[in-house]
Chain A
Amino acid sequence: MMEKQYTDVLIIGAGPAGLAAATNLFESGFKITILDEFPHPGGRLLGQFHEESDGSWWIGRQVASELVEMTKQPNISLQCGVSVYGLKQISEGWEVLSSVGTIETKYLLLATGAAEIPVPLEGWTLPGVMSIGAAQVLTNVHMVKPGDRGIIVGVNVLGLAISRELAVAGVDLAGIVLSPNNLFSGENANPVEAINLLMSLSHLAPSAWMRLGGSLAQKMKMGKWVSTFFPRQGMNVWDIPLLLKTTISSIQGKKSVESVVLADVNSSGQIIAGSEREEKVDFVALAGGLYPLAELAAVAGCSFLYLPELGGNIPLHNEQMKTPLSNLYVAGNITGVEGAQVAMAQGKLAARSIGNDAGLLKNGREKIAEAMDEVHQVRKTATIQFHPGIIAARKRVYEMYDSLQKESLTS
């Protein structure tokens, strides 16, 4: 049996949210433990970079190493390669089950981030088929190309951002095509929806991908019209053909991926008979979008809300990042899918909430209000936004929290 460990604050996830929380809490004097199952700290920051509107590059790996540097404090223990698989509420806080044994903590912060929505289609279990995030991590974190030549499936914010990153690294791409039109696809398979999404986000996104969406939109005003006039052979952006009228119908190969079958679609996303053709690739990156990785909150017994704008099911929480369960807090993408800068601001806010609840924060109310304001500001100016309806959806979550709290007080 491994010996039980004790800590004051346990943070699960060393992504931008978890790391920012720790660096904003160490002055409290609390013993802080951060656990992460990835071998290196930084979470999904490690693989991301994007161009800011002023043309400079924001490089996640650098931001991560700065944050990690700030966690080098005698009262912070950062442990990587450790998985958490269970939680139990106890009278004095939480008991956490991990691959290095049980840890008891007074305060618990869940900062587990997001995961990718799978895109099932014929042939998708072949080696060489991976999520777009996997292509990102291989290329930008491990610096191994996902293959000699690949294709991106799914027109959405993450897919486009990562296509650009792959191109920068010199990965050869046959193009970006629509998600397969099957039982699982929903709106993603529809060219009009894909264009509408690009247009709705074009004003915030920095890269030429999004500018492309925006300028098309300005020229043509309506999604439907764009889809009618968008060239069938696609448009090249960063030397990658963006094929908004092409879908994938299957992935082929004996031992691993050898090719994909592509087909043209009409404006409602239906395959045009006879348009099928084979394209040689050795990897396929599926971009299905992100959802909050919230299993641990469910294990803890937290109630959930379903909000598509935030990526799906999220644990109920208030604007101060508190869940209805005592001493349990959430920050980052577990509360809804957004960019890393928002996650960092949320981590800082959660840290202040914990500090205040512990009675250790001077001018607690003001400090919390200030951190909430910072989250708003960062959200408003974020260069990457995953959904246009985030602000309104967030508001609904907080209202729901307040009304449920009131109900439980009166009942």
Chain B
Amino acid sequence: MSKLRIVNHPLIKKGEQKRISFTFNGESLEGLEGEPIAAALLAHGIRILRRHEESGSNRGLYCAIGHCMECRVDVQGKGQVRACLTPIVEGMEVVEGKQLENKITGREAP
């Protein structure tokens, strides 16, 4: 169990959730069925969800409820999604949001 998971909350009880596996940038990870990608990754200490499309700087979740769009990742078969709203499912393949090329300045993708 990851050290960031809260197991004995004094007031909140959550039902049993099945452990499932998914991948992030090709690495196989375990998560709890139904939890959003961003929470499953954070439980493993992974905060970087995306590289800024232009600058390439690291980005993570900001609002966790779908408002800010900072947490964009790519999910195989779904395209770009918000990692804070999209629940993981068994076998899901997730890839971080990438820095893109800039056709105007001529900067190439990394």
Contact = CB atoms under 8 A, between A and B. Distances in A.
A125 B59 contact: yes
A131 to B, nearest CB: 5
A140 B67 CA distance: 18
Interface residues of B, number: 36
Contacts of A38: 65-66, 85
Interface in B4-49: 4-6, 9-12, 14, 34-36, 39, 42-43, 47-49
A396 B4 CA distance: 47
A39 B48 contact: no
B39 A138 contact: yes
A374 interface: no
Interface stretch (A141-149, A185-193, A197-205, A321-329): A141-149
A49 B63 contact: no
Main secondary structure of the interface of B (DSSP, over half): loop
A49 B11 contact: yes
A131 B65 CA distance: 10
Given A39-B86, A134-B65, A169-B6, 9 more contacts: A57-B11, A133-B65, A134-B62, A138-B39, A142-B35, A168-B9, A168-B10, A169-B9, A256-B58
A115 B58 contact: no
26 contacts: A38-B85, A39-B34, A39-B87, A81-B87, A115-B67, A125-B59, A126-B60, A128-B60, A130-B61, A130-B62, A130-B64, A131-B62, A133-B65, A134-B61, A137-B64, A139-B6, A143-B5, A144-B5, A144-B42, A145-B4, A146-B42, A168-B10, A169-B6, A170-B6, A255-B48, A255-B58
A190 B65 CA distance: 29
B57 interface: yes
A139 to B, nearest CB: 7
Interface residues of A, number: 39
A127 B59 contact: yes
A76 B56 CA distance: 45
B48 A37 contact: no
Contacts of B60: 126-130, 256
